[in-house]
Amino acid sequence: MDFALTEEQSAIFDTARDVGRDRIEPHARAWDADGEIPKELWPDLARLGFAGLYVAEDDGGSGLSRLDATLVFEALSMACPSVAAFLSVHNMACWMISNWGTQPLKDRVLTPAVSGEIYVAYCLTEPGSGSDAAALKTRADRTNEGWKLTGTKAFISGGGYAGAYVVMCRTGEDGPKGVSAVVLESGAPGLDFGGLEEKMGWRSQPTRQVLMDGAKAPADAILGEEGHGFSYAMKGLDGGRLNIAACSLGAAQAALDITLGYMGEREAFGKTIDRFQGLQFRLADMEIALQSARTFLRQAAWKLDTGAPDATKYCAMAKKLATETGSKIVNDCLQLHGGYGYLADYGIEKLVRDLRVHEILEGTNEIMRVIVARHMLASR
């Protein structure tokens, strides 16, 4: 078994790390304070193929593997996990359009999305259905012109910012088999947004409710077959969970690198604090946990790329393990900085805030345990 990255994969990681260092990291704190990532960033990332990472090449995408994509998100998260995670949502939505969208829809939405002209948001969660996503209430009814959507989506990254929204909506019976996926374009009649949410972390991502009161979409805006939207959404989440896991590990690596530098300079009792064995043990524990989670994540990505029957289980396990590992590492790094870690200037407190939500989104880590247990019981 070969655990080494190929030369191409190493180049992908290095490219993402360089653009993160040059184009994102210097502005991350300002974007966090402003509450919005400038839209001018997306064409810069798109020129590197990052706006359509696993979109088919025939649709203008990069056609990379899920493992390749995790390298991009890990590297970008070393600059800012909020920006990287925002890009992950866009890539998941674009992949769904590439896989199941009509050609006219691809021409209108996917082409400008992979070129960075517009951002595409993903709308699944509702005020009354988070973990129980199959209980969503948003409806899409057929009209002579296409579709009319009514309902509310909550916690939408890019709400009011995106150029298009992939909306999971009910077109049939209760439960997952009655759910379809319809793409709403910005400016559609009946589409509106709630106020900007004040959040603990991910503050550079504009987050709002998406409000639909008879919002209109053309007939060609449905993805794939009617009633199959929930399965499309779940397939998208497998990859999304890998990406969020990668974002956690990239941020944890950045925090650990910062902390090693700080400990080599900070003195106490006549020597730098990296000379104290008790603190060295903490550094070693963080490195062991980080490398273990990274290896497991890459195995899960390989399973998804190869179509392994247990890929969903492994994506759930990787998401749970990596997000909790990342959160613990950045919190421990803050502790090793002492009072300075609590200050914004050192960059650690932002990572603590940004990573906390990773244990909630793309399915809470409690739901990840449910998925794993169900697969275990089904295989008896």
The pLDDT, as a whole number, for residue 246 is 98
Contact between residue 331 and residue 323 where contact means Cβ atoms under 8 Å apart? no
Q: Is 117 a catalytic residue?
A: no
**Cα end-to-end distance, the chain, whole Å:** 28
Per-residue pLDDT reduced to its tens digit, 63-121: 999 999 999 999 999 999 999 999 999 999 999 999 999 999 999 999 999 999 999 99
Tell whether the model's pLDDT for residue 2 goes beyond 90: no
**Other Cβ atoms within 10 Å of 380 Cβ, number:** 4
User: One of 198, 324, 362, 366 is an active-site residue; which one?
Assistant: 362
Main-chain dihedrals φ then ψ at residue 122, nearest 5 degrees: -120, 125
User: Within the chain, which residue ranges are assigned CATH 1.20.140.10?
Assistant: 230-378
Check if CATH label 3.40.50.800 holds for domain 7-114.
Answer: no
User: Within the chain, which residue ranges are assigned CATH 2.40.110.10?
Assistant: 120-227
User: Within the chain, which residue ranges are assigned CATH 1.10.540.10?
Assistant: 7-114
Tell whether the model's pLDDT for residue 60 goes beyond 70: yes
- What's the whole-number mean pLDDT along residues 329-335? 98
**What average pLDDT is seen over the chain?**
97
Question: Could you give the C-alpha distances from 299 to 1, 112, 362, in angstroms and in order?
Answer: 11, 33, 19
DSSP string, 6-67: PHHHHHHHHHHHHHIIIIIGGGHHHHHHHT---TTHHHHHHTTTTTSTTS-GGGTS----HH
Residue (of 102, 17, 9, 110) closest to 55 by Cα position = 110
Cα–Cα distance for residue pair 253/77, rounded to 1 Å: 9
Sequence-ordered list of residues with C-beta below 8 angstroms from that of 127, at least 6 positions apart, any chain = 152, 154, 209
Specify the fold of 120-227: Butyryl-CoA Dehydrogenase, subunit A; domain 2 (2.40.110)
Cα–Cα distance for residue pair 240/87, rounded to 1 Å: 11
Contact between residue 338 and residue 313 where contact means Cβ atoms under 8 Å apart? no
Specify the fold of 230-378: Butyryl-CoA Dehydrogenase, subunit A; domain 3 (1.20.140)
Per-residue pLDDT reduced to its tens digit, 70-82: 999 999 999 999 9
pTM of this prediction?
0.96
